[in-house]
Amino acid sequence: MRIDYRVPQPIALDISLDIEGFCVLLGRSGEGKSTLLKAVAGLLSARGTPYDNLPPERRPIGYLPQGYALFPHLSVWENIAFALRGPKSAQRAEAQTLLERVRLADLADRRPHTLSGGQQQRIALARALARKPELLLLDEPTSALDATTRDQILGELIELIGALGIPALAVTHDPHLAAMADRMAVLSRGRIVQQGTPSEVFGAPAGVEVARLVGYHNLFEGRITQRTQTETRVSCDDIGLNVALAHGAPSHGRVILALRADDIDLGYADTVPTHGHNQLPARIARLRMHGLGLHLCCDAGLAVALEVQIPRRTPRHDPLHVGSEVTLSCAPTAIRMLPAVD
Ligand SMILES: Nc1ncnc2c1ncn2[C@@H]1O[C@H](COP(=O)(O)OP(=O)(O)OP(=O)(O)O)[C@@H](O)[C@H]1O
Protein backbone atom coordinates (compact mmCIF):
# COMPACT_ATOMS: atom_id res chain seq x y z
CA MET A 1 0.00 0.00 0.00
CA ARG A 2 1.20 3.50 -0.79
CA ILE A 3 0.29 6.60 1.18
CA ASP A 4 0.75 10.13 -0.16
CA TYR A 5 -0.07 12.89 2.32
CA ARG A 6 0.44 16.63 2.53
CA VAL A 7 -0.11 18.26 5.93
CA PRO A 8 0.03 22.06 6.40
CA GLN A 9 -0.32 22.29 10.22
CA PRO A 10 0.98 22.01 12.95
CA ILE A 11 4.08 21.02 10.99
CA ALA A 12 4.44 20.93 7.20
CA LEU A 13 4.74 17.39 5.86
CA ASP A 14 4.90 16.05 2.32
CA ILE A 15 5.07 12.28 2.58
CA SER A 16 5.08 9.45 0.05
CA LEU A 17 5.55 6.09 1.65
CA ASP A 18 5.30 2.45 0.55
CA ILE A 19 3.95 0.24 3.33
CA GLU A 20 4.58 -3.49 3.09
CA GLY A 21 4.25 -5.84 6.06
CA PHE A 22 5.45 -4.14 9.25
CA CYS A 23 6.89 -0.77 8.25
CA VAL A 24 8.61 1.65 10.64
CA LEU A 25 8.92 5.39 10.15
CA LEU A 26 11.93 6.63 12.11
CA GLY A 27 12.44 10.27 13.02
CA ARG A 28 13.66 12.53 15.78
CA SER A 29 11.24 13.87 18.36
CA GLY A 30 9.06 16.66 16.97
CA GLU A 31 9.62 15.76 13.28
CA GLY A 32 5.87 15.18 12.83
CA LYS A 33 5.52 11.41 13.11
CA SER A 34 2.33 11.49 15.23
CA THR A 35 1.01 14.29 13.02
CA LEU A 36 1.35 12.03 9.96
CA LEU A 37 -0.56 9.19 11.65
CA LYS A 38 -3.34 11.57 12.72
CA ALA A 39 -3.53 12.93 9.16
CA VAL A 40 -3.92 9.44 7.66
CA ALA A 41 -6.49 8.57 10.34
CA GLY A 42 -8.43 11.73 9.45
CA LEU A 43 -7.96 13.30 12.88
CA LEU A 44 -6.56 16.56 11.50
CA SER A 45 -6.94 18.55 8.32
CA ALA A 46 -4.77 17.19 5.50
CA ARG A 47 -4.98 16.10 1.85
CA GLY A 48 -3.80 12.76 0.60
CA THR A 49 -4.48 9.31 -0.73
CA PRO A 50 -5.96 6.94 0.18
CA TYR A 51 -8.99 8.13 2.21
CA ASP A 52 -9.03 11.76 1.00
CA ASN A 53 -12.16 13.55 2.26
CA LEU A 54 -13.41 10.53 4.23
CA PRO A 55 -14.40 11.29 7.83
CA PRO A 56 -12.29 9.40 10.41
CA GLU A 57 -15.05 6.92 11.27
CA ARG A 58 -15.27 5.76 7.64
CA ARG A 59 -11.54 5.18 7.20
CA PRO A 60 -10.63 1.46 7.42
CA ILE A 61 -7.81 2.15 9.83
CA GLY A 62 -6.81 0.61 13.15
CA TYR A 63 -5.06 3.30 15.18
CA LEU A 64 -3.02 2.49 18.31
CA PRO A 65 -2.16 5.80 20.01
CA GLN A 66 0.79 6.24 22.36
CA GLY A 67 -0.03 4.63 25.70
CA TYR A 68 -2.94 2.74 23.99
CA ALA A 69 -5.73 4.90 25.57
CA LEU A 70 -7.62 1.95 27.09
CA PHE A 71 -10.53 2.88 29.38
CA PRO A 72 -9.45 2.02 32.95
CA HIS A 73 -13.02 1.63 34.25
CA LEU A 74 -14.01 -0.93 31.59
CA SER A 75 -13.03 -4.59 31.42
CA VAL A 76 -10.88 -5.85 28.57
CA TRP A 77 -13.84 -7.12 26.53
CA GLU A 78 -15.81 -3.89 27.15
CA ASN A 79 -12.81 -1.89 25.90
CA ILE A 80 -12.90 -3.89 22.68
CA ALA A 81 -16.71 -3.78 22.45
CA PHE A 82 -16.53 0.02 22.57
CA ALA A 83 -15.63 -0.12 18.87
CA LEU A 84 -18.51 -2.54 18.05
CA ARG A 85 -22.22 -2.11 17.26
CA GLY A 86 -25.24 -4.39 17.85
CA PRO A 87 -26.69 -6.21 20.88
CA LYS A 88 -24.51 -6.64 23.95
CA SER A 89 -24.35 -10.45 23.65
CA ALA A 90 -23.14 -10.22 20.03
CA GLN A 91 -20.58 -7.58 21.06
CA ARG A 92 -19.29 -9.84 23.80
CA ALA A 93 -18.96 -12.78 21.36
CA GLU A 94 -17.14 -10.66 18.79
CA ALA A 95 -14.83 -9.17 21.44
CA GLN A 96 -13.97 -12.74 22.48
CA THR A 97 -13.16 -13.68 18.86
CA LEU A 98 -10.90 -10.63 18.57
CA LEU A 99 -9.18 -11.55 21.85
CA GLU A 100 -8.49 -15.00 20.42
CA ARG A 101 -6.92 -13.38 17.34
CA VAL A 102 -4.46 -11.52 19.57
CA ARG A 103 -3.94 -14.70 21.65
CA LEU A 104 -5.38 -13.29 24.90
CA ALA A 105 -8.71 -15.15 25.09
CA ASP A 106 -8.55 -15.72 28.86
CA LEU A 107 -8.20 -12.05 29.86
CA ALA A 108 -11.69 -10.85 28.83
CA ASP A 109 -12.89 -9.87 32.32
CA ARG A 110 -9.72 -8.24 33.60
CA ARG A 111 -9.23 -4.49 33.92
CA PRO A 112 -6.43 -2.93 31.82
CA HIS A 113 -4.31 -1.87 34.84
CA THR A 114 -3.96 -5.54 35.89
CA LEU A 115 -2.21 -6.41 32.60
CA SER A 116 1.40 -6.11 31.47
CA GLY A 117 2.42 -3.45 28.95
CA GLY A 118 2.63 -6.04 26.18
CA GLN A 119 -0.83 -7.42 27.00
CA GLN A 120 -2.32 -3.91 27.04
CA GLN A 121 -0.76 -3.32 23.64
CA ARG A 122 -2.45 -6.43 22.24
CA ILE A 123 -5.82 -5.40 23.75
CA ALA A 124 -5.43 -2.08 21.92
CA LEU A 125 -4.65 -4.09 18.79
CA ALA A 126 -7.80 -6.20 19.28
CA ARG A 127 -9.85 -3.01 19.66
CA ALA A 128 -8.25 -1.64 16.47
CA LEU A 129 -9.11 -4.90 14.65
CA ALA A 130 -12.78 -4.40 15.52
CA ARG A 131 -12.88 -1.79 12.76
CA LYS A 132 -11.81 -4.40 10.17
CA PRO A 133 -8.88 -2.23 9.16
CA GLU A 134 -6.93 -2.48 5.93
CA LEU A 135 -4.08 -0.52 7.56
CA LEU A 136 -2.76 -0.40 11.14
CA LEU A 137 -1.13 2.75 12.53
CA LEU A 138 0.97 2.45 15.71
CA ASP A 139 2.29 5.53 17.50
CA GLU A 140 5.53 4.80 19.43
CA PRO A 141 4.73 1.15 20.25
CA THR A 142 7.87 0.92 22.39
CA SER A 143 7.09 3.86 24.67
CA ALA A 144 5.02 2.05 27.32
CA LEU A 145 7.10 -1.13 27.38
CA ASP A 146 9.57 -2.29 29.96
CA ALA A 147 13.12 -2.10 28.54
CA THR A 148 13.99 -5.65 29.59
CA THR A 149 11.10 -7.34 27.76
CA ARG A 150 10.63 -4.76 25.00
CA ASP A 151 12.33 -6.61 22.15
CA GLN A 152 10.52 -9.87 22.92
CA ILE A 153 7.11 -8.15 23.11
CA LEU A 154 7.75 -6.24 19.91
CA GLY A 155 8.93 -9.40 18.18
CA GLU A 156 5.66 -11.10 19.14
CA LEU A 157 3.62 -8.06 18.06
CA ILE A 158 5.34 -7.93 14.65
CA GLU A 159 4.81 -11.68 14.19
CA LEU A 160 1.14 -11.34 15.17
CA ILE A 161 0.56 -8.44 12.78
CA GLY A 162 2.31 -10.44 10.03
CA ALA A 163 -0.04 -13.39 10.71
CA LEU A 164 -3.07 -11.08 10.56
CA GLY A 165 -1.89 -10.03 7.08
CA ILE A 166 -2.63 -6.33 7.60
CA PRO A 167 0.01 -3.77 6.56
CA ALA A 168 1.16 -1.69 9.53
CA LEU A 169 2.96 1.63 9.91
CA ALA A 170 4.65 2.25 13.27
CA VAL A 171 6.33 5.58 14.03
CA THR A 172 9.20 5.87 16.48
CA HIS A 173 12.53 7.46 17.31
CA ASP A 174 13.84 4.04 18.39
CA PRO A 175 16.30 2.47 15.90
CA HIS A 176 15.85 -0.93 17.62
CA LEU A 177 12.26 -1.06 16.43
CA ALA A 178 13.25 0.07 12.93
CA ALA A 179 15.83 -2.74 12.82
CA MET A 180 13.03 -5.30 13.43
CA ALA A 181 10.77 -4.05 10.61
CA ASP A 182 10.16 -5.50 7.14
CA ARG A 183 10.72 -2.04 5.71
CA MET A 184 11.69 1.30 7.19
CA ALA A 185 11.72 4.95 6.21
CA VAL A 186 13.38 7.99 7.73
CA LEU A 187 11.53 11.30 8.21
CA SER A 188 13.48 14.52 8.28
CA ARG A 189 12.30 18.11 7.83
CA GLY A 190 8.87 17.04 6.64
CA ARG A 191 9.99 14.52 4.00
CA ILE A 192 11.05 10.93 3.64
CA VAL A 193 14.82 11.09 3.12
CA GLN A 194 15.40 7.35 2.76
CA GLN A 195 13.35 4.14 2.67
CA GLY A 196 14.19 0.49 2.17
CA THR A 197 14.81 -2.65 4.18
CA PRO A 198 16.52 -2.11 7.56
CA SER A 199 19.71 -3.69 6.23
CA GLU A 200 19.73 -1.30 3.26
CA VAL A 201 19.22 1.78 5.46
CA PHE A 202 21.46 0.73 8.36
CA GLY A 203 24.11 -0.53 5.90
CA ALA A 204 24.14 2.51 3.64
CA PRO A 205 22.60 5.60 5.29
CA ALA A 206 21.88 8.26 2.66
CA GLY A 207 23.22 11.15 4.72
CA VAL A 208 24.44 12.39 8.06
CA GLU A 209 20.96 12.71 9.62
CA VAL A 210 20.04 9.13 8.73
CA ALA A 211 23.43 7.85 9.90
CA ARG A 212 22.99 9.56 13.28
CA LEU A 213 19.45 8.17 13.69
CA VAL A 214 20.50 4.58 12.95
CA GLY A 215 23.37 4.62 15.43
CA TYR A 216 26.54 5.82 13.71
CA HIS A 217 28.03 7.64 16.71
CA ASN A 218 31.24 8.67 14.97
CA LEU A 219 30.85 11.23 12.20
CA PHE A 220 33.84 13.23 11.05
CA GLU A 221 35.00 15.08 8.00
CA GLY A 222 37.70 14.06 5.53
CA ARG A 223 38.91 14.61 1.98
CA ILE A 224 39.35 11.93 -0.64
CA THR A 225 43.01 11.86 -1.70
CA GLN A 226 43.25 8.65 -3.71
CA ARG A 227 41.01 6.02 -5.25
CA THR A 228 41.73 2.47 -6.38
CA GLN A 229 39.35 -0.12 -7.81
CA THR A 230 38.30 -1.33 -4.35
CA GLU A 231 39.19 1.37 -1.84
CA THR A 232 39.36 5.09 -1.32
CA ARG A 233 42.01 6.83 0.72
CA VAL A 234 40.57 9.60 2.86
CA SER A 235 42.61 12.12 4.80
CA CYS A 236 41.07 13.27 8.10
CA ASP A 237 43.08 15.84 10.03
CA ASP A 238 46.30 14.39 8.51
CA ILE A 239 45.27 10.84 9.43
CA GLY A 240 44.81 8.55 6.43
CA LEU A 241 41.99 5.99 6.42
CA ASN A 242 41.14 3.35 3.85
CA VAL A 243 37.44 3.13 3.04
CA ALA A 244 35.91 0.32 0.97
CA LEU A 245 34.20 1.56 -2.18
CA ALA A 246 30.44 1.39 -1.95
CA HIS A 247 27.85 1.92 -4.66
CA GLY A 248 26.76 5.56 -4.83
CA ALA A 249 29.41 6.87 -2.44
CA PRO A 250 31.06 10.22 -3.26
CA SER A 251 34.12 9.86 -5.52
CA HIS A 252 36.10 13.02 -4.75
CA GLY A 253 36.35 16.10 -2.55
CA ARG A 254 35.10 16.53 1.00
CA VAL A 255 33.16 13.71 2.63
CA ILE A 256 31.76 12.73 6.01
CA LEU A 257 32.92 9.39 7.35
CA ALA A 258 30.48 7.44 9.54
CA LEU A 259 31.59 4.66 11.83
CA ARG A 260 29.67 2.71 14.45
CA ALA A 261 31.13 2.59 17.95
CA ASP A 262 30.92 -1.22 17.96
CA ASP A 263 32.75 -1.52 14.62
CA ILE A 264 35.97 -0.25 16.16
CA ASP A 265 38.35 -2.84 17.61
CA LEU A 266 40.61 -2.04 20.48
CA GLY A 267 44.10 -3.35 21.11
CA TYR A 268 46.67 -2.35 23.67
CA ALA A 269 49.57 -0.24 22.49
CA ASP A 270 51.81 -3.31 22.73
CA THR A 271 49.53 -5.77 20.88
CA VAL A 272 48.66 -6.07 17.23
CA PRO A 273 44.89 -5.71 16.57
CA THR A 274 43.02 -8.64 15.02
CA HIS A 275 43.19 -7.16 11.54
CA GLY A 276 45.75 -4.80 10.10
CA HIS A 277 43.50 -2.13 8.60
CA ASN A 278 43.21 1.46 9.67
CA GLN A 279 45.20 1.39 12.88
CA LEU A 280 45.02 4.51 14.99
CA PRO A 281 47.11 5.08 18.11
CA ALA A 282 44.79 6.68 20.67
CA ARG A 283 44.44 7.69 24.29
CA ILE A 284 41.35 7.02 26.41
CA ALA A 285 39.75 10.33 27.37
CA ARG A 286 36.59 8.97 29.05
CA LEU A 287 35.35 5.55 30.03
CA ARG A 288 32.13 4.15 31.46
CA MET A 289 30.60 0.75 32.04
CA HIS A 290 28.03 -0.38 29.50
CA GLY A 291 26.40 -3.60 30.64
CA LEU A 292 29.03 -6.30 30.45
CA GLY A 293 31.23 -4.11 28.30
CA LEU A 294 32.72 -0.65 28.16
CA HIS A 295 31.97 2.57 26.33
CA LEU A 296 35.09 4.60 25.63
CA CYS A 297 35.81 8.05 24.27
CA CYS A 298 39.23 8.04 22.65
CA ASP A 299 41.43 10.83 21.37
CA ALA A 300 42.98 9.55 18.13
CA GLY A 301 44.07 12.91 16.71
CA LEU A 302 40.82 13.49 14.80
CA ALA A 303 38.72 16.64 15.19
CA VAL A 304 36.25 14.59 17.26
CA ALA A 305 36.86 12.00 19.97
CA LEU A 306 36.05 8.49 18.74
CA GLU A 307 33.37 6.56 20.60
CA VAL A 308 34.22 2.89 21.01
CA GLN A 309 31.93 0.18 22.31
CA ILE A 310 33.52 -2.98 23.67
CA PRO A 311 30.73 -5.56 23.99
CA ARG A 312 32.36 -7.77 26.63
CA ARG A 313 35.26 -7.13 28.92
CA THR A 314 38.06 -9.63 28.71
CA PRO A 315 40.56 -9.91 31.56
CA ARG A 316 42.91 -7.75 29.46
CA HIS A 317 40.37 -4.92 29.46
CA ASP A 318 40.36 -4.55 33.23
CA PRO A 319 43.43 -2.32 33.46
CA LEU A 320 41.91 0.20 31.03
CA HIS A 321 41.58 3.65 32.53
CA VAL A 322 41.51 7.28 31.50
CA GLY A 323 44.90 8.00 29.95
CA SER A 324 45.58 4.40 28.74
CA GLU A 325 47.38 4.25 25.40
CA VAL A 326 45.54 1.93 23.00
CA THR A 327 45.43 1.09 19.31
CA LEU A 328 42.06 1.44 17.58
CA SER A 329 41.38 -0.29 14.32
CA CYS A 330 38.51 -0.69 11.91
CA ALA A 331 37.97 -2.51 8.65
CA PRO A 332 37.60 -0.36 5.51
CA THR A 333 34.19 -2.02 4.97
CA ALA A 334 32.96 -0.69 8.35
CA ILE A 335 33.34 2.95 7.30
CA ARG A 336 30.51 4.63 5.38
CA MET A 337 31.36 7.59 3.19
CA LEU A 338 28.62 10.24 3.01
CA PRO A 339 28.32 13.52 1.12
CA ALA A 340 29.75 16.45 3.08
CA VAL A 341 27.18 18.92 4.46
CA ASP A 342 27.79 22.66 4.05
N1 LIG B 1 -1.90 20.52 18.79
C2 LIG B 1 -0.76 21.11 18.46
N3 LIG B 1 -0.65 22.45 18.47
C4 LIG B 1 0.49 23.06 18.14
N5 LIG B 1 1.61 22.42 17.77
C6 LIG B 1 1.57 21.08 17.74
C7 LIG B 1 0.39 20.35 18.09
N8 LIG B 1 0.66 19.03 17.96
C9 LIG B 1 1.95 18.94 17.57
N10 LIG B 1 2.49 20.16 17.44
C11 LIG B 1 3.88 20.45 17.01
O12 LIG B 1 4.11 19.81 15.75
C13 LIG B 1 5.40 19.24 15.71
C14 LIG B 1 5.29 17.75 15.41
O15 LIG B 1 4.65 17.09 16.49
P16 LIG B 1 4.47 15.51 16.50
O17 LIG B 1 3.79 15.15 17.78
O18 LIG B 1 3.82 15.08 15.23
O19 LIG B 1 6.00 15.04 16.49
P20 LIG B 1 6.61 13.59 16.72
O21 LIG B 1 7.63 13.39 15.65
O22 LIG B 1 5.52 12.57 16.80
O23 LIG B 1 7.32 13.75 18.13
P24 LIG B 1 7.55 12.70 19.34
O25 LIG B 1 8.49 11.67 18.81
O26 LIG B 1 8.18 13.57 20.39
O27 LIG B 1 6.20 12.16 19.72
C28 LIG B 1 6.05 19.53 17.06
O29 LIG B 1 6.89 20.63 16.90
C30 LIG B 1 4.89 19.84 17.96
O31 LIG B 1 5.27 20.75 18.96
Same domain, 19 and 163: yes
What are the angstrom distances between the C-alpha of 22 and each of 31, 56, 99, 132?
21, 22, 21, 17
Same domain, 24 and 99: yes
**Residue 271 per-residue DSSP state:** S
Instruction: Say yes or no: CB of residue 190 within 6 Å of ligand 1.
Output: no
Residues of the chain scoring pLDDT < 70: 268-276, 312-318, 342
Same domain, 195 and 220: no
Same domain, 187 and 63: yes
Same domain, 244 and 199: no
- What is the count of structural domains for the chain? 2
Q: What is the pLDDT of residue 103?
A: 87
What is the distance in A from the centroid of ligand 1 to the CA of 215? Answer: 23
What is the distance in A from the centroid of ligand 1 to the CA of 31? Answer: 7
What is the distance in A from the centroid of ligand 1 to the CA of 155? Answer: 28
Q: What is the pLDDT of residue 53?
A: 86
Q: Which atom of ligand 1 is nearest to the CA of 35?
A: 18
Instruction: Say yes or no: CB of residue 38 within 6 Å of ligand 1.
Output: no
Same domain, 198 and 274: no
Q: Which domain holds residue 334?
A: 216-342
What DSSP string runs through 290-341?
Answer: ETTEEEEEEE-SSSSPEEEEESS--GGGTT--TT-EEEEE--GGG-EEEEPP
Instruction: Say yes or no: CB of residue 148 within 6 Å of ligand 1.
Output: no
Instruction: Say yes or no: CB of residue 8 within 6 Å of ligand 1.
Output: no
Final residue before a domain boundary, out of 162, 177, 207: 207
Q: What is the pLDDT of residue 30?
A: 93
Q: What is the pLDDT of residue 114?
A: 94
Q: What is the pLDDT of residue 95?
A: 93
Q: What is the pLDDT of residue 54?
A: 93
Same domain, 118 and 230: no
Tell me the CB-side half-sphere exposure of residue 41, using CA atoms within 13 A: 21
Final residue before a domain boundary, out of 185, 207, 229: 207
CA 83 from centroid of its chain's CA atoms: 30
CATH code of the domain in which 172 resides: 3.40.50.300
Determine phi and psi for 9, rounding to 5 degrees.
-140, 150
Same domain, 148 and 253: no
Determine phi and psi for 135, rounding to 5 degrees.
-150, 135
CATH code of the domain in which 304 resides: 2.40.50.140
Q: What is the pLDDT of residue 313?
A: 61
Q: How many angstroms separate the CA atoms of 157 and 314, rounded?
A: 36
Q: How many angstroms separate the CA atoms of 281 and 6, rounded?
A: 51
Kindly provide the ipTM of the predicted complex, given to two decimals. Answer: 0.93
Q: pLDDT tens digits, residue range 250-288? A: 788 899 999 999 999 887 655 555 555 799 999 999 998
Same domain, 234 and 156: no
Same domain, 220 and 112: no
Final residue before a domain boundary, out of 161, 185, 207: 207
Same domain, 262 and 199: no
Determine phi and psi for 306, rounding to 5 degrees.
-90, 130
Q: Which atom of ligand 1 is nearest to the CA of 36?
A: 18
235: CB partners within 8 A, 6+ apart: 222, 223, 225, 241
Same domain, 198 and 224: no
Q: What is the pLDDT of residue 315?
A: 58
